[in-house]
Structure 1
Amino acid sequence: MSVTTLQNKLKIINSSKAFQGFVIFVIVVSALSIGAHTYHLPPWLESSLWVLDIGITVFFLFELIIRYIASDGIKSFFSKGWNIFDTVIVIGSLIPLGGSTVLLARLLRIFRVLRLVSMVPELRMLINALFKAIPRMGYIVLLMFVIFYIYGAVGSMIFGHINAFLWGDVSIAMLTLFRISTFESWTSIMYETMAVYPLSWIFYLSFIFLTTFTFLNMMVGTVLDVMGEEAQIMRDHQTKQPVDSQGEQQTPMLATPDDTALEIQKLHAKIDQLTAMLTENATKVPR
């Protein structure tokens, strides 16, 4: 069997929905086995989970090898970020569970659950949208930091003598404001300062409206906007790759000028045959 034939067969296997579904099933089983290790289990079950973990690791290794051979070379394979992520996770899973590396090995095995993201296109779309939204959200976070800093400085100057534990300096005051923005017992903080400054409620309500209501909705709107763009890109990609009768994605074929001319000739021939049939039928109709 030639290398090209093997690569084509592995491409068919790698792109088949049955194989991808089985990989997702193994990832779910891997997640359940990792969770089972956190319980106190009998020795025989611990041994069974250990054997299962070895089998899952070997399967992930072979699945990664299949994907690598099915790709168009090392540059094409590692040009996709998800392939790099899967490679790191699989190689990390090969670390033996023993000695000083036992904690690192278990942590990397936990991250194998994230491989579910790389296998499901919809989850990949969500993660891509999140990463693309981070630069836009950065400006919102910067503006929020400015608002937090201003309110923290004002709160430390005005309320510092009331409760130094909450308003002692600007850094502690900013932590208190973060607590207020999450609505964690913020009314008790407000009533404490209102006992000294009755109009201090204006400070709290204006801060909540600026941060919790305005900036949070701006972040949500940014993420939704990017998600809409990613969803449109996914739909365009799917329409450019039609699905055949077996449910596999096909690469669209571009028609050459010769093929177009041949199709036009066939169409003209069919029109001439249809015209001849209609003329013949018309002559047979009695007058």
Structure 2
Amino acid sequence: MTSNQPTVVDELDPPSLQARFHRLRSNKAFELFVIGIIVFSALVIGAKTYDIPPLISKIIVFADWFITLFFLVEITIRFIGEPRKRDFFRSAWNIFDTLIVVVSLVPIEDSEMALVGRLIRVFRVLRMVSIIPELRVLISSLIKAMPQLGYVALLMFIIFYIYGAIGSFFFASVNEVLWGDIAISMLTLFRVMTFEDWTDVMYETMEHYPLSWLFYVSFIFLTAFAFLNMIIGIVVNVIESENRARQIEEQGEQPARSDLEAQLKQLQESVNQLLERQR
């Protein structure tokens, strides 16, 4: 006795286009290929800065358009592969990538905005940050550290301003080029902070003011040693916090995945039991 009702599911429904693109954009090989195209794009941009033969120049133009079209296809795959399309544009990196790709499509090579077109293509190299998660962590950490860095930068500006005014009052007669006004004095102090031939500046003023070395040594201790190390410490602290939060998030996802696997296993057992009863 036969039954018209199927007892065994012969094949599963084919995955949707969204599911296929979601798997494709999450594929490591695809990500590495995209990174390779970004590196190739950077090389093409660098090649344009040299004097090259006309034939090579035409090849570079075609390569540039290929890269642009590839990025358009890649951003389309990522958009279609997004389970919820509204969430795609909630990511600042996705908005940045989309703007770069869309603006790159404008044919402005032979127009007055050719320079703008080249600049936009230079920014395509930044897409490396949106592709590699570790780089995204560094950039997000730097952005989150900006409020604290702003206070340190404000304090550094105050120190620069005070020392610049003192340097302009005392050393303008020694060297008008380096200490003529407070703006030039602050620029000279930046040179001192970065240790760019700062001893030449110091020895020049010491010929007229023997104790002026105290001015430079105290400034270097405050800026190069104290404030710059403070900036590094703030950035490192934020990066550690971001990495710790990322680890906690990944550890929190593991129990959820295990629960889902257990539910799927239980569902499979229930289906098997139903099939055995029908037999």
Distance 1:216 1:168 in 2: 27
Report deviation, 1:135.
1.3
Quote the residue 2:234 is aligned against: 222
- Aligned counterpart in structure 2 of residue 235 of structure 1, from 243, 247, 251: 247
Quote the residue 2:42 is aligned against: 31
Q: What percent of counterpart residues are identical?
A: 50
Report deviation, 1:239.
3.3
- Aligned counterpart in structure 2 of residue 62 of structure 1, from 73, 77, 97: 73
- Aligned counterpart in structure 2 of residue 112 of structure 1, from 124, 146, 154: 124
Quote the residue 2:212 is aligned against: 200
* CA RMSD in angstroms, aligned pairs only: 2.3
Quote the residue 2:56 is aligned against: 45
Change (3 A) 1:251 1:43: farther
What SS does the aligned partner of 2:106 have?
coil
Number of aligned residue pairs: 251
- Aligned counterpart in structure 2 of residue 81 of structure 1, from 92, 98, 106: 92
Q: 1:147 and 2:159 equivalent? A: yes
Quote the residue 1:178 is aligned against: 190
Structure 2: gaps of 5 or more residues: 1-12, 267-279
Q: 1:103 and 2:108 equivalent? A: no
TM-score (norm 2): 0.83
Change (3 A) 1:27 1:192: same
Report deviation, 1:254.
4.1
8 Å CA contact 1:156, 1:170 repeated in 2: yes
Change (3 A) 1:241 1:59: farther
Matched letter for residue 146 of structure 1: I
Structure 1: gaps of 5 or more residues: 243-249, 263-287
8 Å CA contact 1:136, 1:222 repeated in 2: yes
Distance 1:225 1:69 in 2: 37
Distance 1:59 1:15 in 2: 17
8 Å CA contact 1:240, 1:252 repeated in 2: no
Distance 2:205 2:116 in 1: 48
Quote the residue 1:252 is aligned against: 257
Report deviation, 1:251.
7.0
Matched letter for residue 130 of structure 1: L
What SS does the aligned partner of 2:208 have?
coil
Distance 2:32 2:177 in 1: 55
Displacement over 3 Å in runs of 4+: 237-242, 253-256
Change (3 A) 1:193 1:114: same
Matched letter for residue 178 of structure 1: F
Distance 2:110 2:249 in 1: 45
Report deviation, 1:72.
3.5
What SS does the aligned partner of 2:145 have?
helix
8 Å CA contact 1:57, 1:94 repeated in 2: yes
Q: 1:94 and 2:105 equivalent? A: yes
Change (3 A) 1:252 1:183: same
8 Å CA contact 1:152, 1:173 repeated in 2: yes
TM-score (norm 1): 0.81
Report deviation, 1:141.
0.5
What SS does the aligned partner of 1:252 have?
helix
Distance 1:27 1:182 in 2: 33
Matched letter for residue 93 of structure 2: W
In terms of Rg, which structure is larger? 1
Report deviation, 1:196.
1.5
Change (3 A) 1:98 1:238: farther
